[in-house]
Homo-oligomer: A and B are copies of this chain.
Amino acid sequence: MAESARRGRGGGGAARRAERSAVSFETAKYIERNIPNFEILTEEALQIIETNAEIVLEEVGVNFLDNPAAIQRWRDAGAEIDGERVRIPRGLARKLCATAPSQYTQHARNPARNVVVGGNNLVLAPVYGPPFVRDAVGGRRYATMDDFNKFVKLGYMSKWLHHSGGTVCEPTDIPVNKRHLDMLYAHMTLSDKPFMGSVTEPSRAQDSVDMCKILFGEEFVRDNTVMTSLININSPMTFDDVMMGALEVYAQNNQACIISPFIVGGAMAPVSVAGTLTQVLAETLAGIAYSQLIRPGAPVIMGAFVTSIDMNSGAPTFGTPEAAHITYGAGQLARRLGLPYRSAGSFCGSKLPDAQAAYETANSLNMGLLSGVNFMLHACGWLEGGLVSSFEKFVMDADQLGTLHHLARGVEVDENAQAMGAIREVGPGGHYLGCEHTQNNFKSAFWKSDLLDYKPFETWEDEGARDTQALATLRVEKMLADYQAPALDPAIREKLDAFVAQKKSAEPDSFM
Protein backbone atom coordinates (compact mmCIF):
# COMPACT_ATOMS: atom_id res chain seq x y z
CA MET A 1 0.00 0.00 0.00
CA ALA A 2 1.65 3.23 -1.05
CA GLU A 3 0.54 6.80 -0.90
CA SER A 4 0.95 8.62 -4.15
CA ALA A 5 0.01 12.01 -5.44
CA ARG A 6 -2.88 11.83 -7.84
CA ARG A 7 -4.76 14.40 -9.80
CA GLY A 8 -8.44 13.81 -10.30
CA ARG A 9 -10.47 15.44 -13.01
CA GLY A 10 -12.78 18.24 -11.94
CA GLY A 11 -11.66 20.29 -8.98
CA GLY A 12 -12.46 22.87 -6.37
CA GLY A 13 -11.08 23.32 -2.89
CA ALA A 14 -13.15 20.54 -1.38
CA ALA A 15 -11.85 18.12 -3.97
CA ARG A 16 -8.28 19.09 -3.27
CA ARG A 17 -8.79 18.69 0.46
CA ALA A 18 -10.39 15.29 -0.07
CA GLU A 19 -7.48 14.26 -2.25
CA ARG A 20 -4.86 15.26 0.26
CA SER A 21 -6.44 13.09 2.95
CA ALA A 22 -7.00 10.02 0.81
CA VAL A 23 -4.79 6.96 0.64
CA SER A 24 -4.04 5.47 -2.75
CA PHE A 25 -3.23 1.84 -3.32
CA GLU A 26 -0.44 0.83 -5.65
CA THR A 27 -1.54 -0.55 -9.00
CA ALA A 28 0.87 -2.01 -11.53
CA LYS A 29 0.83 -0.58 -15.01
CA TYR A 30 -1.01 -2.77 -17.53
CA ILE A 31 1.25 -5.47 -18.90
CA GLU A 32 3.45 -4.51 -21.84
CA ARG A 33 4.67 -7.82 -23.23
CA ASN A 34 8.34 -8.21 -23.92
CA ILE A 35 7.87 -11.86 -24.94
CA PRO A 36 6.61 -13.38 -28.17
CA ASN A 37 3.10 -14.75 -28.62
CA PHE A 38 2.58 -18.48 -28.94
CA GLU A 39 1.46 -19.18 -32.49
CA ILE A 40 -0.23 -22.55 -32.68
CA LEU A 41 -1.76 -22.29 -36.16
CA THR A 42 0.29 -22.51 -39.33
CA GLU A 43 -0.16 -19.97 -42.11
CA GLU A 44 -2.04 -22.64 -44.07
CA ALA A 45 -4.42 -23.30 -41.20
CA LEU A 46 -5.03 -19.58 -40.73
CA GLN A 47 -5.87 -19.15 -44.41
CA ILE A 48 -8.26 -22.09 -44.36
CA ILE A 49 -10.10 -20.68 -41.36
CA GLU A 50 -10.21 -17.16 -42.81
CA THR A 51 -11.51 -18.43 -46.13
CA ASN A 52 -14.12 -20.59 -44.44
CA ALA A 53 -15.31 -17.70 -42.27
CA GLU A 54 -15.92 -15.62 -45.39
CA ILE A 55 -17.84 -18.52 -46.96
CA VAL A 56 -19.98 -18.80 -43.82
CA LEU A 57 -20.76 -15.07 -43.88
CA GLU A 58 -21.64 -15.14 -47.57
CA GLU A 59 -23.51 -18.42 -47.80
CA VAL A 60 -24.98 -19.02 -44.34
CA GLY A 61 -25.07 -15.46 -43.04
CA VAL A 62 -26.01 -14.14 -39.62
CA ASN A 63 -29.29 -13.09 -38.01
CA PHE A 64 -29.94 -9.59 -36.68
CA LEU A 65 -33.14 -10.05 -34.67
CA ASP A 66 -35.86 -7.44 -34.12
CA ASN A 67 -33.67 -4.69 -35.50
CA PRO A 68 -34.98 -3.19 -38.78
CA ALA A 69 -32.46 -0.35 -38.59
CA ALA A 70 -29.60 -2.83 -38.49
CA ILE A 71 -31.05 -4.68 -41.46
CA GLN A 72 -31.28 -1.42 -43.36
CA ARG A 73 -27.67 -0.54 -42.50
CA TRP A 74 -26.51 -3.91 -43.80
CA ARG A 75 -28.61 -3.54 -46.97
CA ASP A 76 -27.06 -0.14 -47.60
CA ALA A 77 -23.60 -1.59 -47.05
CA GLY A 78 -24.13 -4.21 -49.74
CA ALA A 79 -25.23 -7.29 -47.82
CA GLU A 80 -27.88 -9.62 -49.15
CA ILE A 81 -30.96 -9.48 -46.91
CA ASP A 82 -33.52 -12.24 -46.42
CA GLY A 83 -35.85 -11.26 -43.58
CA GLU A 84 -33.59 -11.05 -40.54
CA ARG A 85 -30.84 -13.02 -42.23
CA VAL A 86 -27.86 -10.98 -43.39
CA ARG A 87 -25.53 -12.59 -45.92
CA ILE A 88 -22.30 -10.66 -46.26
CA PRO A 89 -20.38 -10.87 -49.55
CA ARG A 90 -16.82 -12.16 -49.24
CA GLY A 91 -14.41 -9.52 -48.09
CA LEU A 92 -17.05 -6.94 -47.09
CA ALA A 93 -17.00 -7.58 -43.34
CA ARG A 94 -13.20 -7.58 -43.24
CA LYS A 95 -13.14 -4.36 -45.22
CA LEU A 96 -15.59 -2.70 -42.83
CA CYS A 97 -13.48 -3.84 -39.86
CA ALA A 98 -10.50 -1.94 -41.26
CA THR A 99 -11.74 1.35 -39.78
CA ALA A 100 -11.64 -0.05 -36.23
CA PRO A 101 -8.56 1.16 -34.37
CA SER A 102 -5.80 -1.34 -33.58
CA GLN A 103 -5.56 0.11 -30.09
CA TYR A 104 -7.26 2.71 -27.96
CA THR A 105 -6.85 4.36 -24.58
CA GLN A 106 -9.55 3.84 -22.02
CA HIS A 107 -9.39 6.73 -19.60
CA ALA A 108 -9.84 6.36 -15.86
CA ARG A 109 -10.82 9.23 -13.62
CA ASN A 110 -7.33 8.84 -12.15
CA PRO A 111 -5.18 9.39 -15.26
CA ALA A 112 -2.43 7.22 -13.77
CA ARG A 113 -4.82 4.32 -14.18
CA ASN A 114 -5.59 4.84 -17.87
CA VAL A 115 -5.14 1.69 -19.92
CA VAL A 116 -4.06 1.24 -23.52
CA VAL A 117 -5.95 -1.70 -25.03
CA GLY A 118 -4.23 -3.38 -27.99
CA GLY A 119 -0.73 -3.91 -29.31
CA ASN A 120 1.49 -5.89 -26.94
CA ASN A 121 -0.54 -4.84 -23.92
CA LEU A 122 -2.61 -6.91 -21.54
CA VAL A 123 -5.23 -5.24 -19.33
CA LEU A 124 -6.66 -7.34 -16.50
CA ALA A 125 -10.26 -6.95 -15.30
CA PRO A 126 -12.20 -8.99 -12.71
CA VAL A 127 -14.98 -11.58 -13.02
CA TYR A 128 -18.23 -10.46 -14.69
CA GLY A 129 -21.77 -11.65 -14.30
CA PRO A 130 -22.24 -14.28 -11.54
CA PRO A 131 -25.61 -14.24 -9.74
CA PHE A 132 -24.08 -15.94 -6.66
CA VAL A 133 -21.21 -15.16 -4.34
CA ARG A 134 -19.29 -17.49 -2.05
CA ASP A 135 -16.97 -17.08 0.87
CA ALA A 136 -15.79 -19.46 3.55
CA VAL A 137 -17.86 -17.75 6.22
CA GLY A 138 -21.20 -17.26 4.48
CA GLY A 139 -21.11 -20.08 1.94
CA ARG A 140 -22.85 -19.81 -1.43
CA ARG A 141 -25.69 -17.30 -1.65
CA TYR A 142 -27.36 -14.85 -4.01
CA ALA A 143 -25.22 -11.78 -4.57
CA THR A 144 -26.27 -8.43 -3.17
CA MET A 145 -25.22 -4.82 -3.69
CA ASP A 146 -23.19 -5.10 -0.50
CA ASP A 147 -21.21 -7.93 -2.06
CA PHE A 148 -20.83 -5.89 -5.25
CA ASN A 149 -19.35 -2.97 -3.34
CA LYS A 150 -16.92 -5.28 -1.59
CA PHE A 151 -15.67 -6.70 -4.87
CA VAL A 152 -15.15 -3.21 -6.27
CA LYS A 153 -13.13 -2.36 -3.17
CA LEU A 154 -11.03 -5.50 -3.49
CA GLY A 155 -10.43 -4.74 -7.16
CA TYR A 156 -9.38 -1.20 -6.36
CA MET A 157 -6.85 -2.51 -3.81
CA SER A 158 -5.49 -5.33 -5.99
CA LYS A 159 -2.06 -4.38 -7.25
CA TRP A 160 -2.07 -6.53 -10.41
CA LEU A 161 -5.60 -5.62 -11.51
CA HIS A 162 -5.80 -2.68 -13.91
CA HIS A 163 -9.52 -2.42 -14.38
CA SER A 164 -12.52 -2.31 -12.08
CA GLY A 165 -14.65 -4.40 -14.47
CA GLY A 166 -18.41 -4.28 -14.74
CA THR A 167 -20.93 -6.67 -13.19
CA VAL A 168 -18.47 -8.16 -10.68
CA CYS A 169 -21.54 -9.95 -9.35
CA GLU A 170 -25.27 -9.45 -10.00
CA PRO A 171 -26.70 -7.37 -7.14
CA THR A 172 -29.91 -9.39 -7.01
CA ASP A 173 -31.40 -7.30 -4.19
CA ILE A 174 -31.66 -4.28 -6.49
CA PRO A 175 -34.39 -4.09 -9.16
CA VAL A 176 -33.17 -5.30 -12.56
CA ASN A 177 -34.09 -2.02 -14.20
CA LYS A 178 -32.12 0.03 -11.65
CA ARG A 179 -29.13 -2.00 -10.59
CA HIS A 180 -26.97 -0.66 -13.43
CA LEU A 181 -27.14 2.75 -11.75
CA ASP A 182 -25.86 1.42 -8.43
CA MET A 183 -23.18 -0.67 -10.12
CA LEU A 184 -21.81 2.27 -12.10
CA TYR A 185 -22.00 4.48 -9.03
CA ALA A 186 -19.91 1.93 -7.12
CA HIS A 187 -17.22 1.76 -9.80
CA MET A 188 -17.15 5.54 -10.06
CA THR A 189 -16.97 6.28 -6.35
CA LEU A 190 -15.31 3.30 -4.66
CA SER A 191 -12.50 2.96 -7.24
CA ASP A 192 -10.58 5.19 -9.60
CA LYS A 193 -9.73 2.44 -12.08
CA PRO A 194 -11.39 2.22 -15.51
CA PHE A 195 -14.72 0.38 -15.69
CA MET A 196 -17.42 -1.07 -17.93
CA GLY A 197 -20.89 0.18 -18.84
CA SER A 198 -24.29 -1.50 -18.78
CA VAL A 199 -25.45 -3.55 -21.79
CA THR A 200 -28.77 -4.96 -20.58
CA GLU A 201 -30.87 -2.32 -22.36
CA PRO A 202 -29.94 0.43 -24.80
CA SER A 203 -31.38 2.96 -22.32
CA ARG A 204 -29.05 1.64 -19.61
CA ALA A 205 -26.11 2.03 -21.97
CA GLN A 206 -27.25 5.64 -22.39
CA ASP A 207 -27.45 6.04 -18.60
CA SER A 208 -23.87 4.76 -18.42
CA VAL A 209 -22.74 7.37 -20.94
CA ASP A 210 -24.65 10.09 -19.08
CA MET A 211 -23.10 9.17 -15.73
CA CYS A 212 -19.66 9.24 -17.36
CA LYS A 213 -20.41 12.73 -18.58
CA ILE A 214 -20.97 13.75 -14.97
CA LEU A 215 -17.80 12.00 -13.79
CA PHE A 216 -15.43 13.00 -16.60
CA GLY A 217 -17.14 16.08 -18.03
CA GLU A 218 -19.28 16.20 -21.16
CA GLU A 219 -16.54 17.40 -23.45
CA PHE A 220 -14.06 14.81 -22.20
CA VAL A 221 -16.47 11.95 -22.91
CA ARG A 222 -17.16 13.29 -26.39
CA ASP A 223 -13.47 13.19 -27.23
CA ASN A 224 -12.31 10.13 -25.28
CA THR A 225 -13.14 6.54 -24.53
CA VAL A 226 -14.05 6.10 -20.87
CA MET A 227 -15.83 2.72 -20.93
CA THR A 228 -15.21 -0.72 -22.41
CA SER A 229 -18.43 -2.74 -22.34
CA LEU A 230 -19.24 -6.38 -23.10
CA ILE A 231 -21.43 -7.19 -26.08
CA ASN A 232 -22.10 -10.93 -26.34
CA ILE A 233 -23.11 -12.56 -29.58
CA ASN A 234 -25.81 -15.23 -29.26
CA SER A 235 -23.82 -17.96 -30.88
CA PRO A 236 -24.32 -19.40 -33.36
CA MET A 237 -24.49 -16.37 -35.60
CA THR A 238 -27.24 -14.38 -33.91
CA PHE A 239 -27.21 -10.72 -32.87
CA ASP A 240 -30.15 -9.74 -30.67
CA ASP A 241 -31.67 -6.28 -30.49
CA VAL A 242 -30.81 -5.68 -26.82
CA MET A 243 -27.09 -6.28 -27.21
CA MET A 244 -27.00 -4.54 -30.59
CA GLY A 245 -28.96 -1.63 -29.15
CA ALA A 246 -26.36 -1.22 -26.42
CA LEU A 247 -23.57 -1.53 -28.99
CA GLU A 248 -25.24 1.19 -31.08
CA VAL A 249 -25.31 3.57 -28.09
CA TYR A 250 -21.69 2.95 -27.23
CA ALA A 251 -20.38 3.10 -30.80
CA GLN A 252 -22.29 6.33 -31.46
CA ASN A 253 -20.61 7.79 -28.37
CA ASN A 254 -17.17 6.50 -29.35
CA GLN A 255 -17.13 4.20 -26.33
CA ALA A 256 -15.45 0.81 -26.65
CA CYS A 257 -17.13 -2.58 -26.83
CA ILE A 258 -15.87 -6.12 -26.64
CA ILE A 259 -17.75 -8.00 -29.34
CA SER A 260 -17.61 -11.57 -28.25
CA PRO A 261 -19.10 -14.92 -29.13
CA PHE A 262 -20.16 -16.84 -26.01
CA ILE A 263 -19.56 -20.43 -26.96
CA VAL A 264 -19.80 -23.73 -25.18
CA GLY A 265 -18.05 -25.87 -27.79
CA GLY A 266 -20.15 -28.74 -29.12
CA ALA A 267 -23.35 -26.86 -28.22
CA MET A 268 -23.08 -23.35 -29.70
CA ALA A 269 -20.29 -24.18 -32.15
CA PRO A 270 -18.88 -27.27 -33.87
CA VAL A 271 -17.16 -29.77 -31.60
CA SER A 272 -13.85 -29.18 -33.44
CA VAL A 273 -11.30 -26.44 -32.84
CA ALA A 274 -11.00 -25.38 -36.49
CA GLY A 275 -14.78 -25.30 -36.87
CA THR A 276 -15.19 -23.22 -33.73
CA LEU A 277 -12.49 -20.80 -34.83
CA THR A 278 -14.25 -20.41 -38.17
CA GLN A 279 -17.48 -19.54 -36.42
CA VAL A 280 -15.74 -17.23 -33.94
CA LEU A 281 -14.12 -15.34 -36.80
CA ALA A 282 -17.33 -15.13 -38.84
CA GLU A 283 -19.31 -13.87 -35.84
CA THR A 284 -16.76 -11.30 -34.72
CA LEU A 285 -16.25 -10.07 -38.29
CA ALA A 286 -19.99 -9.49 -38.59
CA GLY A 287 -20.29 -7.85 -35.17
CA ILE A 288 -17.27 -5.61 -35.54
CA ALA A 289 -18.26 -4.68 -39.08
CA TYR A 290 -21.64 -3.66 -37.70
CA SER A 291 -19.99 -1.44 -35.08
CA GLN A 292 -18.16 0.32 -37.89
CA LEU A 293 -21.41 0.78 -39.80
CA ILE A 294 -22.67 2.66 -36.73
CA ARG A 295 -19.57 4.80 -36.47
CA PRO A 296 -16.39 4.19 -38.45
CA GLY A 297 -13.48 4.26 -36.03
CA ALA A 298 -15.49 3.23 -32.97
CA PRO A 299 -13.13 1.29 -30.67
CA VAL A 300 -13.86 -2.43 -30.44
CA ILE A 301 -12.21 -5.57 -29.16
CA MET A 302 -12.48 -8.92 -30.90
CA GLY A 303 -13.64 -11.35 -28.22
CA ALA A 304 -13.66 -15.10 -27.89
CA PHE A 305 -15.29 -16.67 -24.85
CA VAL A 306 -15.03 -20.36 -25.54
CA THR A 307 -15.25 -23.37 -23.28
CA SER A 308 -15.45 -27.08 -23.94
CA ILE A 309 -18.25 -29.31 -22.68
CA ASP A 310 -18.45 -32.51 -20.70
CA MET A 311 -20.51 -34.59 -23.08
CA ASN A 312 -21.72 -36.83 -20.23
CA SER A 313 -23.24 -34.13 -18.06
CA GLY A 314 -23.52 -31.27 -20.54
CA ALA A 315 -21.56 -29.10 -18.11
CA PRO A 316 -19.15 -26.56 -19.56
CA THR A 317 -15.54 -27.37 -18.69
CA PHE A 318 -12.70 -24.91 -18.15
CA GLY A 319 -8.95 -24.74 -18.36
CA THR A 320 -9.03 -27.50 -20.96
CA PRO A 321 -6.58 -28.00 -23.84
CA GLU A 322 -9.21 -27.44 -26.50
CA ALA A 323 -10.12 -24.06 -25.01
CA ALA A 324 -6.41 -23.27 -25.10
CA HIS A 325 -6.17 -24.23 -28.78
CA ILE A 326 -9.05 -21.93 -29.58
CA THR A 327 -7.66 -19.09 -27.49
CA TYR A 328 -4.23 -19.32 -29.12
CA GLY A 329 -5.79 -19.54 -32.59
CA ALA A 330 -8.25 -16.70 -32.11
CA GLY A 331 -5.37 -14.51 -30.95
CA GLN A 332 -3.62 -15.10 -34.26
CA LEU A 333 -6.81 -14.29 -36.16
CA ALA A 334 -7.26 -11.06 -34.18
CA ARG A 335 -3.69 -9.95 -34.84
CA ARG A 336 -4.15 -10.56 -38.57
CA LEU A 337 -7.21 -8.35 -38.39
CA GLY A 338 -5.21 -5.73 -36.52
CA LEU A 339 -7.72 -5.67 -33.66
CA PRO A 340 -7.38 -5.83 -29.87
CA TYR A 341 -8.22 -9.28 -28.54
CA ARG A 342 -10.19 -10.40 -25.49
CA SER A 343 -10.13 -13.93 -24.12
CA ALA A 344 -9.12 -16.19 -21.21
CA GLY A 345 -9.71 -15.57 -17.51
CA SER A 346 -9.74 -17.23 -14.10
CA PHE A 347 -12.01 -19.92 -15.52
CA CYS A 348 -12.84 -23.06 -13.59
CA GLY A 349 -15.73 -25.43 -13.07
CA SER A 350 -14.99 -26.17 -9.44
CA LYS A 351 -17.52 -25.38 -6.71
CA LEU A 352 -14.75 -24.38 -4.30
CA PRO A 353 -11.51 -22.38 -4.52
CA ASP A 354 -9.61 -25.65 -4.29
CA ALA A 355 -6.96 -27.41 -6.34
CA GLN A 356 -9.30 -28.00 -9.27
CA ALA A 357 -10.12 -24.31 -9.40
CA ALA A 358 -6.43 -23.43 -9.33
CA TYR A 359 -5.30 -25.95 -11.97
CA GLU A 360 -8.01 -24.82 -14.35
CA THR A 361 -7.43 -21.14 -13.64
CA ALA A 362 -3.66 -21.34 -14.02
CA ASN A 363 -4.07 -23.22 -17.31
CA SER A 364 -6.30 -20.44 -18.58
CA LEU A 365 -4.29 -17.48 -17.25
CA ASN A 366 -1.05 -18.80 -18.74
CA MET A 367 -2.51 -19.39 -22.16
CA GLY A 368 -4.19 -16.02 -21.94
CA LEU A 369 -0.84 -14.32 -21.56
CA LEU A 370 0.86 -16.37 -24.29
CA SER A 371 -2.00 -16.09 -26.77
CA GLY A 372 -1.66 -12.33 -26.94
CA VAL A 373 -4.85 -11.37 -25.15
CA ASN A 374 -5.15 -7.59 -24.80
CA PHE A 375 -8.13 -7.41 -22.47
CA MET A 376 -8.72 -10.24 -20.02
CA LEU A 377 -12.13 -10.09 -18.45
CA HIS A 378 -12.75 -12.55 -15.57
CA ALA A 379 -9.05 -12.37 -14.67
CA CYS A 380 -9.87 -13.06 -11.01
CA GLY A 381 -12.71 -14.30 -8.85
CA TRP A 382 -14.51 -16.66 -11.23
CA LEU A 383 -15.89 -19.84 -9.65
CA GLU A 384 -18.28 -22.67 -10.53
CA GLY A 385 -18.49 -22.09 -14.27
CA GLY A 386 -19.23 -18.41 -13.79
CA LEU A 387 -22.23 -18.90 -11.50
CA VAL A 388 -20.30 -17.67 -8.48
CA SER A 389 -18.03 -14.74 -7.66
CA SER A 390 -15.73 -16.04 -4.93
CA PHE A 391 -14.23 -13.63 -2.44
CA GLU A 392 -11.34 -15.93 -1.62
CA LYS A 393 -10.66 -16.83 -5.21
CA PHE A 394 -10.71 -13.16 -6.15
CA VAL A 395 -7.68 -12.42 -3.99
CA MET A 396 -6.01 -15.76 -4.81
CA ASP A 397 -6.27 -15.17 -8.55
CA ALA A 398 -5.39 -11.49 -8.21
CA ASP A 399 -2.15 -12.56 -6.52
CA GLN A 400 -1.37 -15.00 -9.35
CA LEU A 401 -1.82 -12.19 -11.88
CA GLY A 402 1.56 -11.00 -10.62
CA THR A 403 3.16 -14.02 -12.29
CA LEU A 404 1.81 -12.83 -15.65
CA HIS A 405 3.36 -9.40 -15.15
CA HIS A 406 6.78 -10.89 -14.42
CA LEU A 407 6.59 -13.53 -17.16
CA ALA A 408 5.77 -10.81 -19.67
CA ARG A 409 8.92 -8.88 -18.82
CA GLY A 410 10.98 -11.38 -20.75
CA VAL A 411 14.67 -12.00 -20.20
CA GLU A 412 17.18 -9.19 -19.84
CA VAL A 413 20.69 -9.80 -21.17
CA ASP A 414 22.43 -6.55 -20.29
CA GLU A 415 25.73 -6.64 -18.46
CA ASN A 416 24.11 -6.69 -15.04
CA ALA A 417 21.83 -9.57 -16.04
CA GLN A 418 24.74 -11.54 -17.48
CA ALA A 419 26.24 -11.58 -13.97
CA MET A 420 29.66 -12.70 -15.17
CA GLY A 421 31.27 -10.85 -12.28
CA ALA A 422 29.21 -12.84 -9.81
CA ILE A 423 30.05 -16.16 -11.47
CA ARG A 424 33.76 -15.31 -11.37
CA GLU A 425 33.53 -14.07 -7.78
CA VAL A 426 31.67 -17.07 -6.38
CA GLY A 427 33.37 -19.83 -8.36
CA PRO A 428 32.91 -23.60 -8.07
CA GLY A 429 31.46 -24.69 -4.73
CA GLY A 430 30.72 -21.16 -3.57
CA HIS A 431 27.52 -19.46 -2.52
CA TYR A 432 25.75 -16.55 -4.20
CA LEU A 433 23.61 -15.30 -1.31
CA GLY A 434 26.23 -12.94 -0.01
CA CYS A 435 27.76 -11.71 -3.24
CA GLU A 436 27.44 -8.13 -4.38
CA HIS A 437 25.40 -8.91 -7.50
CA THR A 438 22.82 -10.77 -5.41
CA GLN A 439 22.65 -7.95 -2.86
CA ASN A 440 22.16 -5.41 -5.64
CA ASN A 441 19.48 -7.33 -7.48
CA PHE A 442 17.52 -9.60 -5.16
CA LYS A 443 14.75 -7.15 -4.39
CA SER A 444 13.51 -7.01 -7.96
CA ALA A 445 14.80 -10.33 -9.24
CA PHE A 446 11.98 -12.66 -8.30
CA TRP A 447 8.24 -12.32 -8.27
CA LYS A 448 6.92 -12.95 -4.79
CA SER A 449 3.41 -13.89 -3.83
CA ASP A 450 1.73 -11.67 -1.25
CA LEU A 451 -0.62 -14.46 -0.27
CA LEU A 452 0.83 -17.95 -0.68
CA ASP A 453 2.66 -19.84 2.03
CA TYR A 454 6.47 -20.00 1.92
CA LYS A 455 6.98 -20.62 5.65
CA PRO A 456 8.96 -23.43 7.25
CA PHE A 457 6.79 -26.48 7.92
CA GLU A 458 6.92 -26.09 11.70
CA THR A 459 5.91 -22.42 11.60
CA TRP A 460 3.11 -23.20 9.22
CA GLU A 461 1.87 -26.00 11.46
CA ASP A 462 2.08 -23.85 14.60
CA GLU A 463 0.02 -21.18 12.86
CA GLY A 464 -2.81 -23.60 12.21
CA ALA A 465 -1.78 -25.52 9.08
CA ARG A 466 -3.86 -23.22 6.93
CA ASP A 467 -4.61 -23.96 3.29
CA THR A 468 -4.77 -21.32 0.56
CA GLN A 469 -8.46 -20.68 1.05
CA ALA A 470 -7.96 -20.00 4.77
CA LEU A 471 -5.15 -17.55 4.01
CA ALA A 472 -7.38 -15.88 1.43
CA THR A 473 -10.25 -15.49 3.91
CA LEU A 474 -7.93 -13.54 6.18
CA ARG A 475 -6.67 -11.48 3.25
CA VAL A 476 -10.19 -10.50 2.20
CA GLU A 477 -11.05 -9.44 5.74
CA LYS A 478 -7.89 -7.39 6.09
CA MET A 479 -8.27 -5.67 2.73
CA LEU A 480 -11.86 -4.67 3.42
CA ALA A 481 -10.83 -3.38 6.84
CA ASP A 482 -7.97 -1.37 5.31
CA TYR A 483 -10.00 0.01 2.43
CA GLN A 484 -10.08 3.75 1.91
CA ALA A 485 -11.99 5.35 -0.91
CA PRO A 486 -10.13 7.37 -3.54
CA ALA A 487 -10.84 11.07 -3.39
CA LEU A 488 -13.73 12.39 -5.45
CA ASP A 489 -14.88 15.95 -5.94
CA PRO A 490 -17.96 16.29 -3.67
CA ALA A 491 -19.72 18.30 -6.38
CA ILE A 492 -19.38 15.39 -8.79
CA ARG A 493 -20.58 12.94 -6.18
CA GLU A 494 -23.64 15.11 -5.57
CA LYS A 495 -24.47 15.19 -9.25
CA LEU A 496 -24.08 11.43 -9.49
CA ASP A 497 -26.33 11.00 -6.45
CA ALA A 498 -28.94 13.25 -8.01
CA PHE A 499 -28.80 11.45 -11.36
CA VAL A 500 -29.22 8.04 -9.75
CA ALA A 501 -32.06 9.25 -7.51
CA GLN A 502 -33.86 10.87 -10.41
CA LYS A 503 -33.53 7.80 -12.62
CA LYS A 504 -34.66 5.47 -9.85
CA SER A 505 -37.76 7.51 -9.13
CA ALA A 506 -38.70 7.77 -12.78
CA GLU A 507 -39.94 4.21 -13.18
CA PRO A 508 -41.32 1.42 -10.98
CA ASP A 509 -39.08 -1.35 -9.74
CA SER A 510 -38.82 -4.45 -11.90
CA PHE A 511 -37.24 -7.73 -10.92
CA MET A 512 -37.83 -9.29 -14.35
State the Cβ distance, A392 to closest chain B Cβ, in Å.
Answer: 9
Of A122-130, A296-304, A441-449, the stretch lying at the interface with chain B is: A441-449
Q: How far is the CA of A404 from the CA of B277 in the complex (A)?
A: 21
- Give every chain B residue within 8 A of A352 (Cβ-Cβ): 465, 467
Interface of chain A residues 324 through 379 with chain B (CB within 8 A):
324-325, 329, 349-363, 366-367, 370
Task: State whether the Cβ of A77 lies closer than 8 Å to any Cβ in chain B.
Answer: no
Are B418 and A236 in contact, CB atoms less than 8 angstroms apart?
no
Interface of chain A residues 224 through 282 with chain B (CB within 8 A):
234, 236-238, 265-275, 277-279
Are B456 and A315 in contact, CB atoms less than 8 angstroms apart?
yes
Are B36 and A354 in contact, CB atoms less than 8 angstroms apart?
no
Of A14-22, A424-432, A497-505, the stretch lying at the interface with chain B is: A424-432
Given contacts A403-B320, A427-B60, A457-B387, contact A411 B325 (CB under 8 A): yes
Q: How far is the CA of A321 from the CA of B406 in the complex (A)?
A: 6
Task: State whether the Cβ of A380 lies closer than 8 Å to any Cβ in chain B.
Answer: no
Q: How far is the CA of A367 from the CA of B324 in the complex (A)?
A: 14
State the Cβ distance, A477 to closest chain B Cβ, in Å.
Answer: 18
Are A313 and B456 in contact, CB atoms less than 8 angstroms apart?
yes
- Which of B354, B363, B420, B454 is close to A467, meaning CB atoms less than 8 Å apart? B354
Of A48-56, A112-120, A157-165, the stretch lying at the interface with chain B is: A48-56
Are B427 and A270 in contact, CB atoms less than 8 angstroms apart?
no
Are A361 and B363 in contact, CB atoms less than 8 angstroms apart?
no
Could you give 22 example pairs across A and B, Cβ below 8 Å? A55-B420, A62-B428, A85-B428, A236-B429, A266-B438, A267-B432, A268-B432, A271-B419, A271-B437, A273-B417, A308-B447, A315-B454, A315-B456, A322-B445, A349-B454, A353-B355, A354-B469, A356-B358, A356-B453, A356-B467, A356-B468, A361-B362
- Give every chain B residue within 8 A of A423 (Cβ-Cβ): 56, 60, 236, 270, 275, 278-279
Are B322 and A446 in contact, CB atoms less than 8 angstroms apart?
yes
- Give every chain B residue within 8 A of A465 (Cβ-Cβ): 351-352
- Which of B36, B48, B322, B454 is close to A413, meaning CB atoms less than 8 Å apart? B48
Are A413 and B55 in contact, CB atoms less than 8 angstroms apart?
no
- Give every chain B residue within 8 A of A270 (Cβ-Cβ): 419, 422-423, 432, 437-438
Task: State whether the Cβ of A309 lies closer than 8 Å to any Cβ in chain B.
Answer: yes
Are B426 and A236 in contact, CB atoms less than 8 angstroms apart?
yes
**Cβ-closest chain B residue relative to A279:** B423
Are B432 and A236 in contact, CB atoms less than 8 angstroms apart?
yes
Are A325 and B407 in contact, CB atoms less than 8 angstroms apart?
yes
- Which of B39, B413, B460 is close to A45, meaning CB atoms less than 8 Å apart? B413
**Cβ-closest chain B residue relative to A311:** B442
- Give every chain B residue within 8 A of A416 (Cβ-Cβ): 272
Q: How far is the CA of A360 from the CA of B468 in the complex (A)?
A: 12
Are B322 and A266 in contact, CB atoms less than 8 angstroms apart?
no
Given contacts A407-B325, A433-B267, contact A359 B361 (CB under 8 A): yes
Task: State whether the Cβ of A479 lies closer than 8 Å to any Cβ in chain B.
Answer: no
Q: How far is the CA of A406 from the CA of B308 in the complex (A)?
A: 13
Are A428 and B60 in contact, CB atoms less than 8 angstroms apart?
yes
Task: State whether the Cβ of A61 lies closer than 8 Å to any Cβ in chain B.
Answer: yes
List residues of A whose CB falls within 8 A of some B CB. 35-36, 38-41, 44-45, 48-49, 52, 55-56, 59-63, 85, 140, 234, 236-238, 265-275, 277-279, 308-313, 315, 317, 319-322, 324-325, 329, 349-363, 366-367, 370, 384, 387, 393, 396, 400, 403-407, 409-413, 416-420, 422-424, 426-433, 437-438, 441-443, 445-449, 452-457, 460-461, 465, 467-469
- Which of B266, B403, B411, B448 is close to A445, meaning CB atoms less than 8 Å apart? B266
- Give every chain B residue within 8 A of A325 (Cβ-Cβ): 407, 410-411
- Give every chain B residue within 8 A of A427 (Cβ-Cβ): 60, 236-237
Q: How far is the CA of A355 from the CA of B404 in the complex (A)?
A: 17
Shortest beta-carbon contacts, A-B, top 3: A275-B419, A362-B362, A358-B358
- Give every chain B residue within 8 A of A405 (Cβ-Cβ): 321
- Which of B60, B407, B432 is close to A324, meaning CB atoms less than 8 Å apart? B407
- Give every chain B residue within 8 A of A366 (Cβ-Cβ): 362-363, 366-367
Are A446 and B413 in contact, CB atoms less than 8 angstroms apart?
no
State the Cβ distance, A417 to closest chain B Cβ, in Å.
Answer: 4
Are B417 and A274 in contact, CB atoms less than 8 angstroms apart?
yes
Q: How far is the CA of A143 from the CA of B309 in the complex (A)?
A: 40
Known: A60-B427, A355-B355. 13 other contacts (CB 8 A): A38-B370, A41-B411, A236-B430, A271-B432, A272-B416, A274-B419, A278-B423, A312-B448, A322-B445, A351-B457, A354-B468, A359-B359, A387-B457
**Cβ-closest chain B residue relative to A36:** B39
Q: How far is the CA of A320 from the CA of B44 in the complex (A)?
A: 35
